[in-house]
Chain A
Amino acid sequence: MTSSLSSSAKKIVSLLEKYPADKVKHYASFKFSQIERFCNIGSLPIPKKVLEEQAIEQKKQQKMVKIDVKKLKRMIFAQEDATPDFKKELFDTDILTQQFKSLKSIADNKWADVYKVDKKLLEPKGNPNYYSRLMKDINNGGQKRESIFEAFRTVITGKY
């Protein structure tokens, strides 16, 4: 029983590893938190590659945000649970297969393919550069400033 549990958890973890990492830093990462969770459920070690990736991201975060939130939290709340409770006892192979199926269809872009959206929304008539400019900024990590002329254009025309 436990071996089948850990094998299905392993399948989920290897699927989650293929998920794209967040391009912009947020307060939590879906990919890493779920990998941690399913590793815990299947009593697997967290893959080395993931740990390395996480360490790099954390370093980036420290560069951007000067305040160490975790350190502050530790100072204010004396006892903080090191590992969250993942309710391991609730899971069985059936549930894990269901979770895998859902994560798989998300990874496969299933619903984006079924409900395809045209150019009409992706290159909107009123603001045709909106999404391309947004993606450009995101791919630059949101750190690059635009030139003064572009800023003026945005303010005057109101178009992003």
Chain B
Amino acid sequence: MIPRQINRAVLKQHGAASLVGRRLQSKKVSPKELVMQSHLPKIENPDTPDKDIDPKRRLPKPAYEAKGFKVPEWKLAFGEVLVNLFRIDMDNVRAGTMGGVKYYQMCKDQSLQFKNDPLSETATFWYQTLGLPRTFGQWFQITGLHVWLLFVRMRAMPFKVGKNYQQKLVDNFFRDIELRLSEEMNVLSGQIRESYMKDFHSQLLGITFSYDEALASNSDAVLAAALWRNMFNGDKNIDNVKLEALVRYVRMQLYVLDKICDRAFGFGDFEFVSPNETIDPLTPEEEQKLKEATHQKYEPASGKTLPSNRSKLSLDE
């Protein structure tokens, strides 16, 4: 269950008016709108030219990424029988399907773009609203930020499970980078590809380190500096309104990740808050409602759960 959706549902039930009084004034402004308010025109950074490569070939989209993809019923039933018969540890399996595949797809799709193709809703925010260069390196940085956000949550899962999720996510990330380099960026030499991969690896370490420092020191200024170095390529002529919007975006995601319980996160029910949306901090009553709804979803009162939905992950934290 996604807190944001619950929040919306709660707002609808209670009537938004009763909750408006407690809202902060600026909260109705989403990160995207915040950037729109800035009057400073875009200043080009000569160090990072906007050179987009037209891919020779495109990676085919896997079937499961298509909209409305459904596994046939007989396959599902067969799977349930197998899981039940061999008592398969589903938390282990889910690390691959949710942590590796679904969550990576969410990170990657945030900013995936091709030359001459219309941008997706989130990509519009990154490339047009924030004015970041449409390059492969920038795509890596944006994906890296989202991967880090998931890392933060995965660390708070039980050690064995969390580590597994993290491992699968990183594996998928680098496999995808390698495929994209060879197929789309047309880097045919394996040696050069390898050196790029090593470079991306050390960049991911840097991303994780600098954002972790910001989170641990609980300071927006440190986070802003880290975002400035990584996302904005250390641009001296940066529009600080954009920086604040991005700080806000990251804090919003962290808040949702904090409120979601292990079980819901492990089942792949987390969703990044879109840059043109806002969320309000939950009140204690709303948090209670969220907990009840989560319990109802994952451990219904009837007590019947499918073998594949069994899990040892906590429902409360």
Residues of A whose CB lies within 8 Å of any CB of B are 19-20, 22-24, 26-31, 33-34, 36-37, 84, 86-87, 90-91, 94-95, 98-99, 102-103, 105-112, 114-118, 120-122, 124-127, 130-132, 134-135, 138, 158-159
Contacts and interface: CB of A to CB of B under 8 A. Distances in A.
A135 to B, nearest CB: 5
A124 B27 CA distance: 28
B159 A159 contact: yes
B258 A120 contact: yes
Interface string B207-243: 0011011011111111111001100001011111101
B128 interface: no
Nearest to B160: A126
A14 B237 CA distance: 18
Contacts, number: 155
A139 B212 CA distance: 14
B187 to A, nearest CB: 25
A31 B225 contact: yes
A135 B217 CA distance: 8
A98 B241 CA distance: 7
Interface of B: 24, 27, 37-41, 43, 152-163, 209-210, 212-213, 215-225, 228-229, 234, 236-241, 243-244, 247-248, 251-252, 254-255, 257-258, 281, 317
Contacts of A107: 220-221
Contacts of B223: 112
Given A30-B224, A112-B218, 14 more contacts: A20-B219, A30-B229, A33-B236, A34-B240, A94-B39, A98-B37, A99-B239, A111-B251, A112-B219, A120-B156, A122-B216, A126-B154, A126-B159, A138-B213
Given A20-B219, A112-B218, A125-B157, A106 B243 contact: yes
Contact of B258 (A90, A106, A117): A117
Nearest to B156: A124
Contact of B317 (A19, A27, A90, A120): A120
Contacts of B157: 124-126
Contacts of A114: 24, 27, 251, 281
A111 B278 CA distance: 12
Contacts of B43: 87, 90
Contacts of B38: 95, 98
A120 B213 CA distance: 17
B155 A115 contact: no
Which of A37, A91, A103: most chain B Cβ within 10 A?
A103
A131 B237 contact: no
30 contacts: A19-B221, A19-B225, A20-B221, A24-B213, A26-B229, A36-B236, A37-B236, A84-B236, A90-B40, A95-B39, A98-B38, A98-B40, A98-B241, A102-B240, A102-B241, A103-B240, A103-B244, A105-B220, A107-B220, A109-B220, A111-B251, A112-B218, A114-B251, A115-B252, A115-B255, A120-B258, A124-B152, A127-B159, A134-B209, A158-B159
A98 to B, nearest CB: 6
A103 B244 CA distance: 7
Nearest to A31: B225
Given A33-B234, A107-B221, A131 B40 contact: no
B229 A106 contact: no
